[in-house]
């Protein structure tokens, strides 16, 4: 191989080696993602056997944990028996009873071996001392990728990640002189240097891929963050990271050998799949038993139609609001079809307020209303002063050793403030959004500058048709986004709207409402077959998922004649919010049972590590009409996406739902799943020991790897897991042929369904029964009694 070709080969192998680790989006706009997303095409079972152990993780609860749930009644004998049959532990036509099957399964020697609770164990090759290299690489990643945390200027923007390391390491007195001399002699280009170092270490071409994959998995958090930066800013990639890591290994005179990880056997994985399926059946059955297929949509007149995000936390407010008055609700991805860079008033920059699967198409800025320039200027000034104050009093993290000294120096000044915040946090009402003018200062989003008239009409049409809202408009239609209000919470954006890129949903809701209130847009829509009555008014609101307050924005822009109707809606929304707050309080650690004031207090408590549960316990996604679930109490565990197949004969809307909201719902579900089954590898540890690294993420303690996934306080309490690690049940109320066609044509959906990352079911022609789509076709879903139906393929 020529010297010129060698770096190209090494670069290609590095990219392949990184393929097991999903990108990590950081905390500024936290986006949930399946941590083994690159293994999606391999299927769930293969990921548990190969990809998860490659990262040193465990892919399911342990056998001991499953057995405890079986003994406690959470896993039934019949569900476990069905799963044992499905996975071929007995002949298909066996007449063995469930009791006998389960007894045999529990007494299997393979199960006794699995009680060791180990699905993957790290074993370091002899002669390899990784701790020092890990620490040096992690320290460099923190300095180069989160420069605000560096103790000195890091010239990454001029020299690049690897180049800056090469330049500064030559001056690092913490390294032996021999190491500094070796580093100074490395080539300037990262790929050339990596190829050279591999030669120095004696790594053959056949050994390179395994070694590179192993090296990247030593610090999977920083590797994941580098992958994200490579996708976005492009200022670093895995070749840079590997060049630094292996350059240090060689410079320090260490040997390089792949980390040997003991992976689970195929039989152990098969047992875990049996347990997992039996564990899921009970929760999924609880959802399906409450659904009412074939029921007609609500026909009585409604005072308002409210469109909420599909987020499971919206299920509760929808349920209570429908009980409070004559209201209809529906679910749609919370960006409401506005794929834009949004620049709120007084914001330093615009942010992509749309799903990460989409590319923003335009920039929409918030501006003061013509009559509100003075109020807006006052608001902007107050926000600027607040930001300056916060910047001035927070510990200057960019100084080495500063936080401890800063605490000593400033404690006598800030101590009384902290004490007063602790005492007064729960007293009196406080507006949840002091940083948002939408509820006090009249503002507008500058749609006309961002979109041409034709684009406005086209965008409005896409919004309405995708929502299935093309006729029978209610007098008031409200788009209700959501966000969270918490204090001192590094993971705040993880509680905001994932459909809005980890931001709050109110701006998108306001833009959509403004667009559809535009008279010229309505004229254009009428030409396209969508006639909105003159009496219909679109409004925007936001549900704060921590305090459960539901606020309506832009009240000053409402027609005077609609004021009373909107005020009635606000009053009923307050009733619904209080009922939901009381319901949620029963689940929060340390809360007074049934006290709705508890949740508002927690949103203001700067020491609160459990402000809300977020999307914990998510279990299902329902794609269908509201009539399917209106009578159900789904316990805030279900994503609810409205869909009526009668209005979608060509299947375009369903294809959009399955290829976008379903994918995002799976990412959320997988993040909670893996953070729960292996909190050490795939979770972020306890908030109480976190050290914030700018907007990049958190460390446990003062240094080390960037923590992936969710903190312990998002999934569990000291008593154990609150979240149930289940794969997502996907209920689609649509014709069998339409679902099957979309699944076969959309690769990502096919991977999810055929790879059994999700369990997709639809109502069967047999009343009360459900059928599941797998890689072998449609079959009866075995989690419910199939009276009179043979247990065989129905396709």
Q: For residue range 511-548, what is the model confidence (pLDDT) as tens digits?
A: 999 999 999 999 999 999 999 999 999 999 999 999 99
- Gap between the Cα atoms of 399 and 342, Å rounded: 33
- The rounded percent of the chain whose pLDDT value lies above 90 is 68
| 493: three-class secondary structure by DSSP | helix
- pLDDT of 119 > 70? The answer is no
- Gap between the Cα atoms of 280 and 54, Å rounded: 26
Question: 3-state DSSP: the chain helix, strand, coil percent, rounded to 5?
Answer: 50, 10, 40
Phi, psi for 8 (deg, rounded to 5): -65, -40
CA dihedral over 680, 686, 690, 692, signed as positive or negative: positive
Res. 25 pLDDT band, cuts 50 70 90:
confident
Res. 170 pLDDT band, cuts 50 70 90:
confident
Block residue for tokens 């080390």: 704
- Gap between the Cα atoms of 502 and 483, Å rounded: 9
The winner for highest mean pLDDT among 108-117, 234-243, 402-411, 437-446 is: 234-243
Instruction: Return the minimum-mean-pLDDT range out of 117-131, 213-227, 407-421, 457-471.
Output: 117-131
pLDDT digits (tens, 9 = 90+) for 711-727: 999 999 999 999 999 99
Non-local (6+) Cβ contacts of 701 within 8 A are 689, 691
Question: Are 539 and 515 within 8 A, CB to CB?
Answer: no
On average, the pLDDT of the chain sits at: 87
- pLDDT of 209 > 60? The answer is yes
Mean pLDDT of 147-163: 80
**Six-digit token string for 645:** 């197949």
Mean pLDDT of 767-795: 72
- Gap between the Cα atoms of 241 and 98, Å rounded: 53
Non-local (6+) Cβ contacts of 15 within 8 A are 238, 239
Strands 351-352 and 340-343: antiparallel
- Gap between the Cα atoms of 294 and 331, Å rounded: 19
pLDDT digits (tens, 9 = 90+) for 53-87: 999 999 999 999 999 999 999 999 999 999 999 99
Question: Are 552 and 572 within 8 A, CB to CB?
Answer: no
User: For residues 241-264, b (16+ Cβ closer than 10 Å) or e, as one string?
Assistant: bbbbbbbbbbbbebebbbbebebb
What is the chain's alpha carbon radius of gyration, rounded to the nearest angstrom?
28
CA dihedral over 369, 374, 376, 380, signed as positive or negative: positive
- Gap between the Cα atoms of 321 and 325, Å rounded: 7
Query: Which contiguous run of DSSP H or E holds residue 423?
Result: helix 402-424
pLDDT digits (tens, 9 = 90+) for 444-496: 899 999 999 999 999 999 999 988 899 999 999 999 999 998 888 888 888 99
Res. 338 pLDDT band, cuts 50 70 90:
very high
Nearest to 355 by CA among 501, 557, 529: 501
Mean pLDDT of 175-191: 96
Question: Are 445 and 514 within 8 A, CB to CB?
Answer: yes
Instruction: Return the minimum-mean-pLDDT range out of 127-141, 171-185, 655-669.
Output: 127-141
- Gap between the Cα atoms of 217 and 213, Å rounded: 6
Furthest C-alpha separation in the chain: 82
Non-local (6+) Cβ contacts of 651 within 8 A are 734, 738, 741, 742
Give 257-310 as a DSSP string.
-PPEEEPPPHHHHHHHHHHHHHHHHHHHHHHHTT--TTPPPP-S--SEEEEEES
Interior angle at CA 596, CA 284 and CA 435, nearest 5: 100
| 178: three-class secondary structure by DSSP | helix
Block residue for tokens 């209000």: 485
- Gap between the Cα atoms of 742 and 739, Å rounded: 5
Phi, psi for 591 (deg, rounded to 5): -80, 150
- Look at residue 442 in the predicted model and tell me its pLDDT: 81
Instruction: Return the minimum-mean-pLDDT range out of 22-31, 217-226, 522-531.
Output: 22-31
**Six-digit token string for 239:** 């070749």
- Look at residue 490 in the predicted model and tell me its pLDDT: 86
pLDDT digits (tens, 9 = 90+) for 359-377: 999 999 998 887 766 776 7
Non-local (6+) Cβ contacts of 95 within 8 A are none
Question: Are 149 and 397 within 8 A, CB to CB?
Answer: yes
* Beta bridge pairs of residue 123: 260
- Gap between the Cα atoms of 144 and 258, Å rounded: 26
| 398: three-class secondary structure by DSSP | coil
Nearest to 136 by CA among 220, 55, 247, 15: 247
Q: How far is CA 113 from CA 50, 62, 63, 490, in A?
A: 19, 11, 9, 40
Block residue for tokens 């879903």: 781
- pLDDT of 115 > 80? The answer is no
Res. 23 pLDDT band, cuts 50 70 90:
very high
Res. 395 pLDDT band, cuts 50 70 90:
very low
What spatial distance separates the first Cα and last Cα of the chain, rounded to whole Å? 54
**Six-digit token string for 446:** 């500058």
Res. 593 pLDDT band, cuts 50 70 90:
low
**Six-digit token string for 306:** 């409210």
Question: Are 360 and 350 within 8 A, CB to CB?
Answer: no
Mean pLDDT of 15-31: 88
- Look at residue 259 in the predicted model and tell me its pLDDT: 81
| 492: three-class secondary structure by DSSP | helix
- Gap between the Cα atoms of 181 and 167, Å rounded: 11
- pLDDT of 419 > 60? The answer is no
Sequence ranges of the domains in the chain: 5-30+123-261, 304-608+616-659
Block residue for tokens 């896409």: 462
Question: Are 84 and 289 within 8 A, CB to CB?
Answer: no
Instruction: Return the minimum-mean-pLDDT range out of 271-285, 651-665, 772-786.
Output: 772-786
Query: How many helices and strands, by DSSP H and E, does the chain display?
Result: 30, 21
- Gap between the Cα atoms of 794 and 771, Å rounded: 8
């Amino acid at each position: 191989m020529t010297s010129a070709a060698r770096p190209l080969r090494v670069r290609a192998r590095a990219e392949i080696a990184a393929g097991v680790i999903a990108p990590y989006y950081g905390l500024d706009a936290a986006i949930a993602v399946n941590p083994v997303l690159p293994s999606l095409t391999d299927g769930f079972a293969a990921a548990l056997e190969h990809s998860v152990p490659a990262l040193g993780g465990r892919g399911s609860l342990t056998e001991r944990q499953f057995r405890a749930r079986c003994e406690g009644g959470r896993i039934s004998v019949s569900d476990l028996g069905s799963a044992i049959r499905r996975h071929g532990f007995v002949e298909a036509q066996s007449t063995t009873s469930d009791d006998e099957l389960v007894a045999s399964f529990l007494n299997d020697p393979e199960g006794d071996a699995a009680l060791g609770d180990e699905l993957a164990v790290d074993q370091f090759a002899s002669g390899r001392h990784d701790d020092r290299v890990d620490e040096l690489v992690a320290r460099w990643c923190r300095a180069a990728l989160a420069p605000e945390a560096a103790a000195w200027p890091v010239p990454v923007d001029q020299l690049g990640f690897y180049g800056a390391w090469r330049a500064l390491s030559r001056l690092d007195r913490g390294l032996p002189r021999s190491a500094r001399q070796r580093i100074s002699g490395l080539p300037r280009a990262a790929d050339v240097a990596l190829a050279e170092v591999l030669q120095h270490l004696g790594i053959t071409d056949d050994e390179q891929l395994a070694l590179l994959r192993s090296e990247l998995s030593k610090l999977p958090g920083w590797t994941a963050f580098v992958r994200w930066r490579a996708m976005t800013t492009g200022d670093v990639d895995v070749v840079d990271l590997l060049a630094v890591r292996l350059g240090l290994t060689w410079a320090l005179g260490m040997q390089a050998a792949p980390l040997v990880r003991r992976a689970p056997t195929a039989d152990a994985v098969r047992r875990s799949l049996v347990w997992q399926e039996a564990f899921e059946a009970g929760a999924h059955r609880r959802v399906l038993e409450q659904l009412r297929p074939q029921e007609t949509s609500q026909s009585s007149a409604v005072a308002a139609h409210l469109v909420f995000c599909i987020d499971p936390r919206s299920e509760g407010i929808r349920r209570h609001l429908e009980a409070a008055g004559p209201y209809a609700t529906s679910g749609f991805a919370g960006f409401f079809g506005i794929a834009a860079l949004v620049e709120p008033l007084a914001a330093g920059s615009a942010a992509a307020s749309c799903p990460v699967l989409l590319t923003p198409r335009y920039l929409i800025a918030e501006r003061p209303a013509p009559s509100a320039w003075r109020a807006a200027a006052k608001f902007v000034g107050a926000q600027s002063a607040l930001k300056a104050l916060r910047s001035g009093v927070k510990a200057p993290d960019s100084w080495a050793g500063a936080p401890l000294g800063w605490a000593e120096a400033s404690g006598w000044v800030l101590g009384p403030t902290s004490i007063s915040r602790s005492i007064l946090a729960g007293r009196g009402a406080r507006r949840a959004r002091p940083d948002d003018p939408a509820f006090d200062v009249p503002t507008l989003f500058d749609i006309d500058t961002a979109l041409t008239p034709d684009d406005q009409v086209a965008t409005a049409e896409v919004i309405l048709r995708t929502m299935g809202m093309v006729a029978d408009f209610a007098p008031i239609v409200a788009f209700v986004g959501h966000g969270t209000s918490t204090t001192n919470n590094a993971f705040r954006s993880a509680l905001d709207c994932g459909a809005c890129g980890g931001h709050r949903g109110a701006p998108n809701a306001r833009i959509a409402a403004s667009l559809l209130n535009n008279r010229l847009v309505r004229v254009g829509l009428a030409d396209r077959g969508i006639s909105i009555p003159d009496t219909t008014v679109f409004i925007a609101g936001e549900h704060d998922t921590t305090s459960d307050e539901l606020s309506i924005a832009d009240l000053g822009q409402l027609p005077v004649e609609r004021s009373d109707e909107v005020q009635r809606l606000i009053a009923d929304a307050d009733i619904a919010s209080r009922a939901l707050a009381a319901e949620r309080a029963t689940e929060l650690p340390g809360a007074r049972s049934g006290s709705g004031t508890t949740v508002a207090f927690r949103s203001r408590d700067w020491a609160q590590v459990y402000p809300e549960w977020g999307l914990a316990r998510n279990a299902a996604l329902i794609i269908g009409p509201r009539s399917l679930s209106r009578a159900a109490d789904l316990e805030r565990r279900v994503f609810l996406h409205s869909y009526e197949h009668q209005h979608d004969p060509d299947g375009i809307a369903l294809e959009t739902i399955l290829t976008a909201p379903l994918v995002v719902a799976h990412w959320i579900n997988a993040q909670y799943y893996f953070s729960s089954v292996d909190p050490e590898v795939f979770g972020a540890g306890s908030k109480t020991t976190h050290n914030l690294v700018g907007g990049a993420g958190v460390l446990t303690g003062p240094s080390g790897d960037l923590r992936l996934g969710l903190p312990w306080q998002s999934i569990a309490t000291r008593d154990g897991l609150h979240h149930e690690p289940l794969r997502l049940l996907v209920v689609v109320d649509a014709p069998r042929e339409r679902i099957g066609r979309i699944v076969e044509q959309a690769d990502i959906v096919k991977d999810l369904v055929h790879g059994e990352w999700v369990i997709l079911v639809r109502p069967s022609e047999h009343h009360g029964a459900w059928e599941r789509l797998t890689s072998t076709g449609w079959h009866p879903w075995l989690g419910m009694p199939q009276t009179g139906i043979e247990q065989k393929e129905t396709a």
